[in-house]
Structure 1
Amino acid sequence: MIAGNSDLTARFAQAMGHLAPERPTRLGIAVSGGGDSMALMHLAHQWCGAELHVATVNHGLRPEAGDEAQFVAQAAQALGLKHTTLHWQGWDRRGNLQDAARNARRHLLTDWAQGEGLQGVLLGHTQDDQAETFLMRLARGSGVDGLAAMAPAQMADGLHWLRPLLDFTRRELRDWLRASQIAWVDDPSNDDTGFDRIKARQALDTLASMGLTRARLSETAARMADARTVLDAAAANAAHDICRFEHGDFVFDTARLDALPQDTRYRLLARAVCEISSNAYRPRLSALRKAMTCASATVHGCLITRGARDLRITREANAVRDLRAPLGEWWDRRWQVLRPDDQHTAPHLSIGPLGEAGLQHCNDRTGWRLPRASLVASPAVWDGTRLIAAPLAGFAPEWRICVREPRESLPSGRYSH
């Protein structure tokens, strides 16, 4: 350890003690090669409280990305840490690129961590990230959720996501790296003022003279997070009275949903949409507001249909039309289909959406457990182009199908067959 760096390493150890008091034995670290994540990797290595695995996500969006992943791999190897590069196959040019990349990164890291048997993943967000995000969302007119601080620790997909650097500034981390003679990679986009985050970063230096420092904005974000906790609890209480989980769909009592306070109403819809789409990031409020005024609308890869009695949220067929998974694996990150003989694999079979073509084989509507719009996006078993089973549509009902249960903040119920 370099002299003069003991304060930073001690603060990191203290942060890890708060975030992971039970001392996990196997942790992952997401490292891009930038200063923040490189500092995270080296500080975690010095803390040495767990077996560490390192992953770098190559989005394939910049020609330098491959070299940066190799740089991280060599740095991890020098520390004796296992490194994996995770590749995103690229944007399908549908929706927002930054949102798609962010969501893909989270999914890739989740699959990697679960495959490695890790208990959690360390992320390199800093106090600067907290303050920059607050400013950007303030500019967009965000409410409590958007302005709330990033959680230092959260549980999702069976993993602990930990951010031990939220009280560290980007400058002090780079000073520590320089003093320790540790290299990092600078992303050229960090100087591109065409990005809102870079504008916010530059604005912070000006705002500091007014007292709006990074630390002050982070404190405000933390108070917003406290307020969000209260609002989340109110929404969870309301959900159990007006919502049911029906074979993967969320169904709300329309009149009782409309009678809720506006924040609770949109909070419930956002949570349901995120559950169905397996998206960690909530949709924009403007999209939810528009959906509430339409008979039918698509949001975040989900279909929202509004009727006189029920408002139903289901998966959008378009969002899963090309999605395939081997039999026995999770399809669309939440469905499993099991053979009647309990054999979990069959190389010639795959899971895909039922679609309109498959639904034509399900003529007995007494076996339909969901409306047509939900069924076409539901999982079915295929042997090439031949339909083998679609239990939710009554086709080969002896096959078993189940879906991941929602989080405690939303009701569970009729989720399997």
Structure 2
Amino acid sequence: LIKAFDLYVMSPKIAIAVSGGLDSMVLMNLANASKKINSKNIHIIVIDHNLRKGSKEEALFVKEEANKLGLKSVILTWQGKKPTSKIQETARKERYSLLFDYCKENYISDLFIGHHLDDQIENFIFRMFRGSGIVGLTSFSNFSKRDNINLIRPLIEISKSDLLVFAKKQKIKWVEDPSNLNLNFDRIKIRNTLQNFYDSGFDKKLFLKSINKLKSINDDIDFVAESYISKYIEVHENIFVSIGEEFFIKTPNEIQMRIVKNCIRLFAPNNLYSPKDIKIINLLKWMKKNSNIKAKTLGGTLFRKKNNEILLYKEVKNLNNIKPIDISKSEFKCWDNRFLIKANRNFNGKVSYLGPEGVKVLKSKNIDISKAKKNAPIAAVYSSPAIWDKKRLISAPIFDYCINNKVNIEIKKIGYMI
């Protein structure tokens, strides 16, 4: 198991999400035993959802076990109003939000998760009953990128029974989550039903072979989609996307859906899940037909018909949801999951969106925005990165504007199309 873990240690500093359950406790101990990373650079993150009695004690248990191993740990508590419906789904979204924020604040790019083979099979069945396509069915992978953080699941092809044998042999302690016995949750019903199949002799490894074949097909579709993106899709400075009308004539339907979903992910990367397929299908129907309706929104993205193109950009009403970040001169920092930004020197200021006030400043400096970024909708320009010192615009790097010639802002665009 240590070899399985070591395969995925690619950075000098990592974070591990540990709930106190069997899988994450095994993962924490594997990290501690690894020779590929210094234990001082392992961050143990414990999320207390504060949804039930005992959650605080479980978080403290993990912290104590981490301390015994000499690992630094932190407990992050989900604050605010708790849901009365879709509890697991909402908790999962909040959990990842807390995990990603911690990683960004501590300059950690690799987040390790303890999902195992049983989880992968369970997720496949769960999503199948939800009507997911091939992307959803194969969503549990050993390596993926979300919110500019590498999500790594080194145990994804190892069964829970193997982890149990290892934990008992190594005398690893863990806690049982009582919600795993709650049959009000669909996932628990599926888990119990699957256990009956396993007890009857069904082979998890054969199920895994089928999932991996589907993953291979999914990768092939992505490869094909890239050629259609290069022909018919233009990404303009990561502030808007234009789709030509030929795209709808010459691109297969499955590829159309996949590309539109990825466009939405560009402008609303914090959403854990893509909009439902039926909503994408209806949106594509609107794109293809003549209609008096010139604009629609979906998943935080605005779709506008203009001449023979469809223009896509971030909804203006969502700009206030973008978290400002401090700018650094030592390393690139991610802003809005669309840009990596770094300065050549320290100065007061935060990276936020340009907005209407920033556009006013640029116009007062005789910067022709429409000439600089041809055909860019003004609402899309609002979403471009800018450095502000309180209400004073310091720089708008996409428009080569900076009030101080000694300050150089370096910017890189993050690609999300595939």
What amino acid is the match of 1:66? Answer: K
Q: Please give the residue correspondences for 1:157-306 in structure 2 after superposition, counting only pairs within 5 Å.
A: 160-208=150-198, 213-259=203-249, 260-279=251-270, 281-283=272-274, 284-294=276-286, 295-306=294-305
Which residue of the other structure, out of 5, 27, 33, is the alignment partner of 1:16?
A: 5
Measured in 2, the distance between the counterparts of 1:50 and 1:82 equals: 14
SS state at 2:296 partner: strand
Which blocks of at least 5 consecutive residues in structure 2 are unaligned?
Answer: 287-293, 328-332
Show the counterpart of 1:367. Answer: 369
Show the counterpart of 2:324. Answer: 325
SS state at 2:183 partner: coil
- 8 Å CA contact 2:147, 2:269 repeated in 1: no
Show the counterpart of 1:405. Answer: 413
Residue 76 of structure 1, CA deviation: 0.8
Residue 80 of structure 1, CA deviation: 1.3
Show the counterpart of 2:330. Answer: none
Residue 337 of structure 1, CA deviation: 7.2
Q: Relative to structure 1, is the Cα distance of residues 298 and 404 closer, same or farther in structure 2, using a 3 angstrom cutoff?
A: farther
Measured in 1, the distance between the counterparts of 2:61 and 2:243 equals: 54
Which residue of the other structure, out of 136, 148, 151, is the alignment partner of 2:138?
A: 148
What amino acid is the match of 1:388? Answer: L
SS state at 2:212 partner: helix
Residue 392 of structure 1, CA deviation: 8.2
Measured in 1, the distance between the counterparts of 2:30 and 2:164 equals: 12
Measured in 1, the distance between the counterparts of 2:279 and 2:412 equals: 26
Which blocks of at least 5 consecutive residues in structure 1 are unaligned?
Answer: 1-11, 411-417
Residue 120 of structure 1, CA deviation: 3.2
Measured in 2, the distance between the counterparts of 1:211 and 1:263 equals: 36
Identity %: 24
Q: Relative to structure 1, is the Cα distance of residues 404 and 103 closer, same or farther in structure 2, using a 3 angstrom cutoff?
A: farther
Q: Relative to structure 1, is the Cα distance of residues 90 and 271 closer, same or farther in structure 2, using a 3 angstrom cutoff?
A: farther
Q: CA RMSD in A?
A: 3.7
Show the counterpart of 1:33. Answer: 20
Which whole-Å deviations, capped at 9, do the CAs of 1:26-45 have from their partners, x for residues lacking one? 44322111111011112332
Residue 388 (1) aligns with residue 375 (2): no
Residue 123 of structure 1, CA deviation: 1.7
Residue 234 of structure 1, CA deviation: 0.5
Residue 91 of structure 1, CA deviation: 7.2
What amino acid is the match of 2:265? Answer: C
Measured in 2, the distance between the counterparts of 1:167 and 1:395 equals: 48
Measured in 2, the distance between the counterparts of 1:402 and 1:285 equals: 38
Show the counterpart of 1:125. Answer: 115
Residue 273 of structure 1, CA deviation: 2.0
Residue 406 of structure 1, CA deviation: 3.3
Show the counterpart of 2:45. Answer: 56
Measured in 2, the distance between the counterparts of 1:17 and 1:351 equals: 36
What amino acid is the match of 1:123? Answer: I
TM-score w.r.t. structure 1 length? 0.78
What amino acid is the match of 1:367? Answer: I
- 8 Å CA contact 2:302, 2:313 repeated in 1: yes
Which whole-Å deviations, capped at 9, do the CAs of 1:69-121 have from their partners, x for residues lacking one? 2221110110111212345555798x977556545544544454465565633
Which whole-Å deviations, capped at 9, do the CAs of 1:181-236 have from their partners, x for residues lacking one? 43222222212222221121122134447875543332221111000010000011
- 8 Å CA contact 2:58, 2:175 repeated in 1: yes
Q: Relative to structure 1, is the Cα distance of residues 393 and 54 closer, same or farther in structure 2, using a 3 angstrom cutoff?
A: closer
What amino acid is the match of 1:286? Answer: I
Residue 267 of structure 1, CA deviation: 1.2
- 8 Å CA contact 1:126, 1:168 repeated in 2: yes
Show the counterpart of 1:7. Answer: none
- 8 Å CA contact 2:237, 2:413 repeated in 1: no
Instruction: Judge which range, 98-107 or 212-221, deviates more.
Output: 98-107
Counting matched residue pairs gives 391
- 8 Å CA contact 1:61, 1:90 repeated in 2: no
Residue 350 of structure 1, CA deviation: 4.0
- 8 Å CA contact 2:259, 2:417 repeated in 1: no
Which residue of the other structure, out of 124, 136, 151, is the alignment partner of 1:134?
A: 124
Residue 60 of structure 1, CA deviation: 3.7
